[in-house]
């Protein structure tokens, strides 16, 4: 979180992470992920997460497409589209990965109904896809969604972790340094957009950030069977 802003010592995104630290901590160091990192995770919880996150990622595709469209219309930096296109390209591989993992764990993906926390998260994504939602708000939410996973699963790659070998590929997918660099790129885009945004847009972007954290905590809770 090293982005800087002309309006202060700390970028807007970093300041929000600091001011909402308790909720950010609950989202990025949830017992579900801590259980993976210390080897105590209930594999039935992992399988539940796998099926539900597959549903979520399918909804995530049109959301990212809408962010890409907003970038095309409103961004003042062409590199935004290149970065977002990279994320869009990776989603095809991600969906294939989910299908492969589901086969390995004997998890059925066809006919699986989204649970309540998943439904509510997907509805939130759909609300961000509306044309009237500002690009700064949408890119902030997108950064937050990606970063929660990056910070969460990076815990499982720490040298002191006891992550089960069969779950290492999952953790490497989102916890890797490369994915971390991608999240930093998204943060820089969000900070740049927020520097030029009105106070109303800044307020809505912060609300979207907090909503992402709340939905992530609920999604982890759902995965644990709560």
Known catalytic residues are: 216
Tokens of 1: 């979180």
Closest CA to 98 of 33, 182, 170, 28: 170
Closest CA to 219 of 127, 116, 150: 116
Token pair 């597959």: residue: 54
Closest CA to 196 of 2, 12, 63: 12
Q: How many CB atoms lie within 10 A of CB 92?
A: 10
Judge contact between 128 and 208, C-beta under 8 A. Answer: yes
């Amino acid at each position: 979180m090293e982005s800087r802003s002309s309006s202060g010592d700390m970028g807007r995104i970093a300041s929000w992470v600091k001011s909402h630290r308790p909720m950010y901590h609950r989202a990025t160091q949830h017992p579900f992920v801590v259980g993976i990192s210390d080897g105590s995770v209930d594999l039935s919880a992992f399988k539940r997460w796998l099926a539900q996150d597959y549903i979520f990622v399918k909804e995530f595709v049109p959301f990212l497409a809408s962010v890409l469209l907003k970038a095309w219309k409103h961004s003042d930096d062409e590199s935004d589209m290149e970065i977002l296109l990279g994320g869009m390209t990776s989603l095809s591989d991600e969906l294939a990965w989910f299908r492969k993992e589901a086969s390995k764990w004997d998890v059925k993906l066809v006919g699986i109904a989204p649970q309540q926390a998943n439904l509510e998260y997907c509805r939130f994504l759909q609300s961000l896809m509306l044309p009237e939602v500002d690009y700064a708000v949408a890119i902030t939410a997108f950064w937050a969604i990606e970063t929660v996973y990056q910070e969460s699963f990076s815990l499982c790659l720490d040298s002191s972790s006891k992550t089960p070998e069969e779950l290492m590929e999952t953790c490497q997918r989102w916890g890797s340094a490369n994915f971390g660099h991608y999240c930093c790129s998204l943060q820089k885009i969000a900070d740049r957009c927020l520097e030029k945004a009105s106070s109303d847009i800044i307020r809505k972007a912060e609300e979207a950030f907090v909503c992402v954290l709340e939905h992530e905590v609920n999604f982890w809770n759902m995965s644990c069977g709560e």
